[in-house]
Each structure stands twice: as structure tokens, then as C-alpha cells.
């Protein structure tokens, strides 16, 4: 699962695991906030996930802070770190971080070397094709990451200037896989299980990363694994299964963040869960207006009585 700010927190990662996701990422973590012991940031990484297949996605541009942050994460118990060289959001790149580092590979190299100083941690680097079509440098960046000690690379083959528009150019992922010896994973435009299977079979990648498609349909991981194994792919889960699954996530949010925060944070997940159901627009509006924790729980429980729109019971949503 791709790292997504405000989304891939602990309760949602637990939900994704229930649907068969084998490797996950935390939300983007600021190295500066981490080393300053910012309460909210520490809460995002302590305690660590119980498995060793979740990476903390770390962002920053100061090698010293990144090295210290990596040591803190290792001390907490994390085994994987993913360095962010791909976030296109303006407030991130304005500091030089995220995809901003695609314009400053010498600094990116110092950052990766600093992270590599933490032994025993698997280090991957997530990057883009470059800043813009006239500044394409993913091959150079990939070779640099390998030389600096990265254990793997995740390429989202869009330029920063594209954001999430246009199409992901998977030919670039194949080119990068041929240019380095470390594993390369691909990310971008994996919208359904068939896309995941095609990417794994048609391109020399070690793994496929799924992002936005999993928001409304987290069972995409289960279905992709079954398709890859040559097994029958089940239909879309029942309304009752979706309601029960979302309720577990909501209760965990209440447990970890309190009722007030949980009510606010579950709304987007509830809106996504309503995809494909009758009266979805009306129900989304109702959910967005809820402010009371007990009412939110009742609303989620009521999802079990929903009916799919005609033609949406087989997995398309």
C-alpha cells in the first residue's frame, strides 16, 4: 500500500491487512518533527506495527535530522524506512523535500547516505520520473540511490509537474529496473486487480504498489493475490461485511485518538465505503454532518442494510 498523508494511519493499515495487503507504509513522517519529539508525530510511529513489513515513510532535507530520525525509529522497533523523493505537494516541495529532491540529487545523495548509517534497517527510496518532462532524471536518481546504499527503489512514473494527472508511464519503471541491480517496485494507475497482474507479468518489477484504488475497495489486495495465483476472484463484499470492517476501523480510531478525532477522521473512509450503493450521495451527506460519536457508530452499522446499485454487486463499485 502506498503511503498517503492523512490516510495510512494505524487503523487503516490494520484494515488493509485484513484484506490481504502484505506490505504497507505509514503516513509521511517529517524527520524534523520526529527529532524534535513532536507529540503528534511520535504518536504516528510509537508503538511500531507488529509485523516487519511496514515502512515508515520519512521526509526531510537535512542529513543530520534524517540520520537521527532513522536511529530513533530503529530504537522504537521499526525495521523499514522509505525515503520520500516523490511527494508533489507544494508545501512539501517548497522546503526542498519530496519531489523537490529530484532537482537536487547531490543533497538527496547525502540524505540517503545519512539514512544508510542506521544499520539493520531496510531502506527504500520512493521517487518520481523527475521534476518535469524537461528535467527527467529518474535513471540518474535511481543509480545514485543504489550507490548510496538503498536496498530498493519505488518509482511513480509521473513528473512532479503532473501531480496525479495524465498517465503513469510504466515503460520508465522497466527502464529503471534494467539500469540498477537492486529491486524496483512500480506505483501509479493500478486501479484494479487486473492492472496489478498485468504490471507484475509485463514489467520486470519486484512488487506493485497500490494507492488510491484501495480507498474505496481495500479488498483489491485479496483479489489481486487470488488472480495472480490463478484462483477465482470473489465478488464485492456484502454490505454487512463492509459495515463490520469499517466499524472495526472506527473503534480503533476512537481507542487511539479519542471520539472527537475519530468522528472527523472516519468520515472520508465512510464516504469511500459507500461507493456503488444506492442513495450513496444522500448517505455521504448525512455522514458528513454527524458530530456525535454514538451517532457515527450507528450510521456505520446501518450500512449493512444498504443495497448495491444495479450492476455494482460484482466488484466494480
pLDDT in tens, 24-54: 999 999 999 999 988 889 999 999 998 899 9
- Structural domains in the chain plus CATH codes: 10-228 (3.20.20.70), 239-305 (1.10.1200)
199 is catalytic: no
What pLDDT was estimated at residue 317?
36
**Closest to 180 measured CA to CA, from 151, 137, 210:** 151
Percent of the chain whose pLDDT exceeds 70 = 97
Q: Which of these ranges, 115-119, 173-177, 274-278, has the smallest mean pLDDT? A: 115-119
Amino acid 312: pLDDT: 60
The order of strands in the sheet holding 24-30 is: 24-30, 54-59, 80-85, 122-130, 152-159, 184-187, 207-209
Average pLDDT (218-247) is 95
Contact present, 310 and 297 (Cβ < 8 Å): no
Report which DSSP code applies to 205. -
Nearest to 103 by CA among 141, 147, 63, 158: 141
Res 129: pLDDT: 98
Beta-carbon contacts of 82 under 8 Å, excluding residues fewer than 6 positions away, are: 3, 25, 55, 56, 57, 58, 123, 124, 125, 126, 154
Q: Mean pLDDT throughout 5-10?
A: 95
3-state helix, strand, coil in the chain (%, to 5): 50, 15, 35
Report the residue count for the chain.
317
What's the rounded Cα separation, in Å, for the pair 105 and 156? Answer: 17
pLDDT digits (tens, 9 = 90+) for 260-285: 999 999 999 999 999 999 999 999 99
Task: Name the catalytic one among 87, 111, 148, 199.
Answer: 87
Could you give the angle at the alpha carbon of 216 between the alpha carbons of 210 and 220, nearest 5°? 45
Report the SS3 class of residue 12: helix
Q: How would residue 237 be classed by pLDDT, with cut points 50, 70 and 90?
A: very high
- Residue 308 phi/psi, 5-degree rounding, is -70, 150
Of the candidates 77, 25, 32, the one whose C-alpha atom is nearest the C-alpha of residue 55 is 25
Spatial separation of the C-alpha atoms in residues 259 and 297, rounded to whole Å: 10
Amino acid at each position: 500500500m502506498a503511503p498517503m498523508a492523512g490516510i495510512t494511519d494505524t487503523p487503516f493499515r490494520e484494515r488493509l491487512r485484513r484484506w490481504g495487503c502484505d506490505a504497507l507504509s505509514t503516513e509521511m513522517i517529517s524527520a524534523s518533527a520526529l527529532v524534535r519529539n513532536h507529540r503528534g508525530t511520535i504518536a504516528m510511529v510509537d508503538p511500531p506495527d507488529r509485523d516487519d513489513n511496514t515502512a515508515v515513510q520519512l521526509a526531510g532535507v537535512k542529513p543530520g535530522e534524517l540520520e537521527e530520525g532513522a536511529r530513533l525509529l530503529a530504537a522504537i522497533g521499526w525495521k523499514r524506512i522509505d525515503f520520500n523523493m516523490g511527494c508533489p505537494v507544494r508545501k512539501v516541495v517548497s522546503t526542498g523535500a519530496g519531489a523537490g529532491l529530484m532537482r537536487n540529487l547531490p543533497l538527496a545523495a547525502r540524505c540517503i547516505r545519512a539514512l544508510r548509517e542506521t544499520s539493520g534497517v531496510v531502506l527504500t527510496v520512493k521517487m518520481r520520473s523527475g521534476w518535469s518532462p524537461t528535467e527527467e532524471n529518474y535513471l540518474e536518481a535511481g543509480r545514485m540511490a543504489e550507490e548510496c546504499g538503498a536496498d530498493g527503489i519505488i518509482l511513480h512514473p509521473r513528473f512532479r509537474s503532473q501531480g496525479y494527472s495524465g498517465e503513469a508511464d510504466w515503460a520508465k519503471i522497466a527502464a529503471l529496473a534494467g539500469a540498477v541491480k537492486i529491486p524496483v517496485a512500480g506505483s501509479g494507475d493500478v486501479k484494479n486487480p487486473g492492472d496489478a497482474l498485468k504490471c507484475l507479468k509485463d514489467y520486470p518489477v519486484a512488487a506493485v504498489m497500490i494507492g488510491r484504488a484501495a480507498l474505496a475497495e481495500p479488498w483489491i489486495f485479496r483479489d489481486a493475490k487470488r488472480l495472480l495465483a490463478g484462483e477465482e476472484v470473489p465478488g464485492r463484499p456484502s454490505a454487512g461485511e463492509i459495515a463490520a470492517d469499517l466499524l472495526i476501523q472506527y473503534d480503533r480510531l476512537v481507542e487511539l485518538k479519542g471520539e472527537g478525532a475519530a468522528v472527523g477522521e472516519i468520515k472520508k473512509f465512510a464516504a469511500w465505503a459507500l461507493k456503488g450503493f444506492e442513495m450513496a450521495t444522500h448517505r455521504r451527506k448525512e455522514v458528513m454532518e454527524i458530530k456525535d460519536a454514538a451517532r457515527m457508530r450507528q450510521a456505520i452499522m446501518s450500512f449493512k442494510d444498504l443495497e448495491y446499485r444495479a450492476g455494482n454487486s460484482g466488484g466494480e463499485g
